[in-house]
Amino acid sequence: MRQGRKSGSGRSLKTQRWLDEAGVEEKLAAGATIVPVGRTYRLRDGQSATLAFARDDEGRICVGYAVGEGSWVMVEAEPYTARSFGYYKRWLKRHRELGD
């Protein structure tokens, strides 16, 4: 097993620590279907969007983005990895209104 991995998990300790600090797994276990994380952006089409986590049909934690005002609707997501997390963070920054 590689160092830096939590026993029995495919996630690095850094990744697991981030999920724990954000309360993602705890909120999903408590029944939340979408867990918004971080700031809210105004997209160029006028919608509010945020980085969000949810579980897919197979029970995996997925990351993507959600739109809405308070009641979030997941638009796009894929299984959580450091790469997918970074992709959606960059996606939101690229598609926000300028000056946001």
pLDDT along the chain (100 residues), means of 10: 49 84 94 94 94 95 92 95 92 82
pLDDT at 100 (0 to 100): 52
pLDDT at 92 (0 to 100): 95
pLDDT at 68 (0 to 100): 93
pLDDT at 11 (0 to 100): 74
Read off the tokens for 55: 């579980």
Residues 6+ apart with CB under 8 A from 40: 48, 49, 50
Burial class of residue 52, CB neighbours in 10 A (0-12, 13-18, 19+)? buried
